[in-house]
Amino acid sequence: MARAPILDIQGLAVKFNGRRVLKGIHLSVEQGEIVSLIGPNGAGKTTLFNAITGLVRPSAGSVRFCGEDITGWPAHRICWAGIARTFQIARPFPEMTAEENVRIGIWFGKRKKELPRSRNTREEARRLLHLVGLEGKEETPGRELTLSEQRRLEVARALATAPRLLLLDEIAAGLSPQAVSHAARLVRALRDQGTTILLIDHFLNLTARVSDRLLALDQGETIAEGSPAQVLHHPEVLSAYLGERHPHTGSGEIP
Amino acid sequence: MKKEGLRRHLLWTLVVLLALGLWPLGGWHTLLVCRVLGFAFLFAMVTVAWNLVALSGLISLGHAAYFGLGAYAAALLDHYSGAQVPVTLAVAGLSAAAYGAVLAVAFQRLRAASYALATLASVEIPKVIADNWESFTFGSLGLVGTRPLPTISVAGFAVDLSHNIMGQYYFLMTFLAVACAIHALAIHSRWGWALRAVREDERAAAVLGVDVFATRFTATVLSAALTGVCGGLYAHLMGMTEPDLVFNLHISAMPLVFAILGGRFRWYGPAAGALVLYSVDQLVLHPWLPAGHAAVYGLVIMVILLFFPKGIGSWPAPRS
Ligand SMILES: Nc1ncnc2c1ncn2[C@@H]1O[C@H](COP(=O)(O)OP(=O)(O)O)[C@@H](O)[C@H]1O
Ligand SMILES: [Mg+2]
């Protein structure tokens, strides 16, 4: 393939107080792909997202996005470049309404001069809330939403920044089967509109249904990479998961 | 904000502005009241300035540093160069802004109690310099004889801002109005939304494209500049500047009390809190209870907190 990958991670390492939490991850994602990150709790999946989005400084390695080296950029510039994320443990703005939460993403998600001059941000925010199934909650303050509503708000808010690459951290954990189907449809629809998606799916709710490719992490290292069938039956992946308390069973609340 | 709420806000603002603007013209004021309210405007401006930083989610305990720097900048410039008052005030604001910029960079990783402590300590540096550089600042004796506010010409009338107490009253009121306008922007503009996002969840704000550092930096520098101008005004009003007077812990703590009691999240809250509390303390509690006024002042603060947990500024607004 001649085309450069949209995301290209080389030898990415992260240390916390001398402890190596990520030990040289390589990952490259093509435009329009859906890639899943799986692995047991504490494998370093969320830390990888934090390093990509500028919330954690890598101790080694590089992150290139659309050909540009974004390693060490501040978080807001990475957002402007076109990467958005959700938080595993939702972080709504507690005193703002759901609609205001989303409008922050619309207003600040791109450089000021790149924003269209006159646009109806209110309408746009409502459309995004509708898309994630939060219609009727527009005026509810962030802190009054239920946990599952807060997680959907995370998705709407990330989409509000009009990302080219969307990082979803455990959006399907603890959801009902219908809600998982809804999430899977949403993820596919976003990809069809041209958004590239990297998703963390510890409980393997979404992975098999939507991903083109899987990356399995354990203790900060890649233990398998490939198609869903290859990775899910890889002996190291099985043993990493079986070493845990709750293996393949569909749902479970995030810790 | 809802239309209905906006109308009530505007109405209340108008009523208060008319009352403050017109009552001295009625002739039943006393000069003492005007003088006290003039100082209330000055301290309200410090409170409004302090709240700019608070709106970004940081509680500063060091605004005396900016106030004192502003006072010393104005007094020293006046003493050594005889510069005119507009110049001394501008330099007062700029000096404090420069210190604010340095602190905003130095303290960018500090939050909550560590930030409060660091700002508290930041007062000591300029204070120790003012206290000990005797050949330049006259040490703990301070500077005396700073020129009073000048006579200005308003619509053909000469108004002596130092002796004409009414003139002084309107002059200081104008400064407060400017501070309130900036404060209103810090709540209702695009920058205001950035401040709010940073205050409510800094990491979420950052990944949604809000430049957290720039947002806080702007707030801190503007706040320091306004506080520095207040210090400069104080030096000219009092005619003297001493380290213990202008780098006083009381000046750092006062805006915290006034702003929290007035309501931190409304554009008029900090100013309202300062005007009401300062005047009640000076005009009512001081004369009636020269000895026990501080205790009653404390009682007033507690009663307000009990009945208006969101500050007295929340009273005229519609219930939500
Ligand atoms: N801010 C942090 N400080 C110290 N250790 C951290 C921090 N964030 C994550 N860790 C540690 O890094 C490891 C990986 O965590 P994380 O990336 O959240 O795992 P996952 O998302 O795969 O469950 C865990 O052992 C966790 O305790
Ligand atoms: Mg995680």
| Cβ–Cβ under 8 Å, residues B186 and B192 | yes
Residues spanned by CATH 3.40.50.300 within chain A?
A: 1-82+165-176+195-255
| pLDDT (0 to 100) of residue B317 | 46
CATH class in words for A1-82+165-176+195-255:
alpha beta
With the CA atoms of B18, B22, B28 and B30 taken in that order, what torsion angle do they form, in degrees rounded to the nearest 10? Answer: 100
- Closest alpha carbon within chain A to B265: A95
CB atoms within 10 A of CB A81: 19
* Interface membership of B205 toward A (CB under 8 Å): yes
- Would the CB atoms of A53 and B207 count as touching at under 8 Å? yes
State the smallest CA–CA distance between residue B194 and chain A in angstroms: 8
**pLDDT tens-digit series, residues B227-278:** 999 999 999 999 999 999 999 999 999 999 999 888 888 889 999 999 999 9
Query: Which 8-state DSSP code applies to residue A162?
Result: -
Q: Is A111 strand, coil or helix? A: coil
For B197, the closest of A75, A104, A110 (CB atoms) is A104
B42 Cα distance to chain centroid: 6
What does R_g of chain A's alpha carbons equal in angstroms? 18
User: Which atom number of ligand 1 is nearest to the Cα of residue A16?
Assistant: 4
For residue B88, is it within any domain? yes
* Interface membership of B193 toward A (CB under 8 Å): yes
Interface size A-B, in CB pairs within 8 Å, comes to: 76
- Would the CB atoms of A93 and B210 count as touching at under 8 Å? no
> Would the pTM count as exceeding 0.95?
no
CATH number of the domain within which B276 lies: 1.10.3470
For residue A173, give the ligand nearest its CA.
Answer: 2
Residues with CB under 6 A from ligand 1: A 16, 21, 39, 41-47
Look at ligand 1, atom 25, and give the residue with the nearest C-alpha.
A42
Three-state SS for chain B is CCHHHHHHHHHHHHHHHHHHHHHHHHCCCCHHHHHHHHHHHHHHHHHHHHHHHHCCCCCCCCHHHHHHHHHHHHHHHHHHHCCCHHHHHHHHHHHHHHHHHHHHHHCCCCCHHHHHHHHHHHCHHHHHHHHHCHHHHCHHHCEECCCCCCEEEECCEEEECCCCHHHHHHHHHHHHHHHHHHHHHHHHCHHHHHHHHHHHCHHHHHHCCCCHHHHHHHHHHHHHHHHHHHHHHHHHHHCEECHHHHCCHHHHHHHHHHHHHHCCCCCCHHHHHHHHHHHHHHHHHHHHCCCCHHHHHHHHHHHHHHHCCCCHHHCCCCCC
**pLDDT tens-digit series, residues B109-130:** 999 999 999 999 999 999 999 9
Query: Which 8-state DSSP code applies to residue A246?
Result: S
For residue B16, is it within any domain? yes
| pLDDT (0 to 100) of residue A110 | 93
| Cβ–Cβ under 8 Å, residues B186 and B195 | yes
Side-chain-side CA neighbours of residue B22 (13 Å): 6
Q: What is the ipTM of this complex?
A: 0.93
Question: Residues of B with CB below 8 A from A160's CB?
Answer: 208
For A76, the closest of B196, B200, B211 (CB atoms) is B211
| pLDDT (0 to 100) of residue B103 | 98
For A94, the closest of B194, B200, B212 (CB atoms) is B200
Name every residue whose Cβ is closer than 8 Å to that of residue B261 and which is 6 or more positions away in sequence: B273, B277, B301, B304, B305, B308, B311, B312
* Per-residue pLDDT tens listing for chain A (255 residues): 456 899 999 999 999 999 999 999 999 999 999 999 999 999 999 999 999 999 999 999 999 999 999 999 999 999 999 999 999 999 999 999 999 999 999 999 999 877 766 678 999 999 999 999 999 999 999 999 999 999 999 999 999 999 999 999 999 988 889 999 999 999 999 999 999 999 999 888 888 889 999 999 999 999 999 999 899 889 999 888 877 644 444 444 444
Block residue for tokens 């939050």? B111
Mean pLDDT across B143-148? 95
Mean pLDDT across B177-198? 95
**pLDDT tens-digit series, residues A5-59:** 999 999 999 999 999 999 999 999 999 999 999 999 999 999 999 999 999 999 9
Name every residue whose Cβ is closer than 8 Å to that of residue B301 and which is 6 or more positions away in sequence: B257, B261, B277
Kindly state the tokens that stand for B296.
């009653």
Block residue for tokens 């791109």? A110
Q: Is A205 strand, coil or helix? A: coil
Domain tally, chain B: 1
Block residue for tokens 């080296």? A69
**pLDDT tens-digit series, residues B28-86:** 668 888 899 999 999 999 999 999 999 999 999 999 999 999 999 999 999 999 999 99
| pLDDT (0 to 100) of residue B270 | 95
CA distance A58 to A47: 10
Report CA(A41)–ligand 2 centroid distance (Å). 7
Domain interval for residue B115: 3-314
User: Which atom number of ligand 1 is nearest to the Cα of residue A44?
Assistant: 17
Report CA(B149)–ligand 1 centroid distance (Å). 60
State the smallest CA–CA distance between residue B207 and chain A in angstroms: 5
CB atoms within 10 A of CB A20: 16
Kindly state the tokens that stand for A113.
């001069």
| pLDDT (0 to 100) of residue A252 | 42
| Cβ–Cβ under 8 Å, residues A84 and A159 | yes
| Cβ–Cβ under 8 Å, residues A23 and A189 | no
For residue B320, is it within any domain? no
Name every residue whose Cβ is closer than 8 Å to that of residue B192 and which is 6 or more positions away in sequence: B55, B185, B186
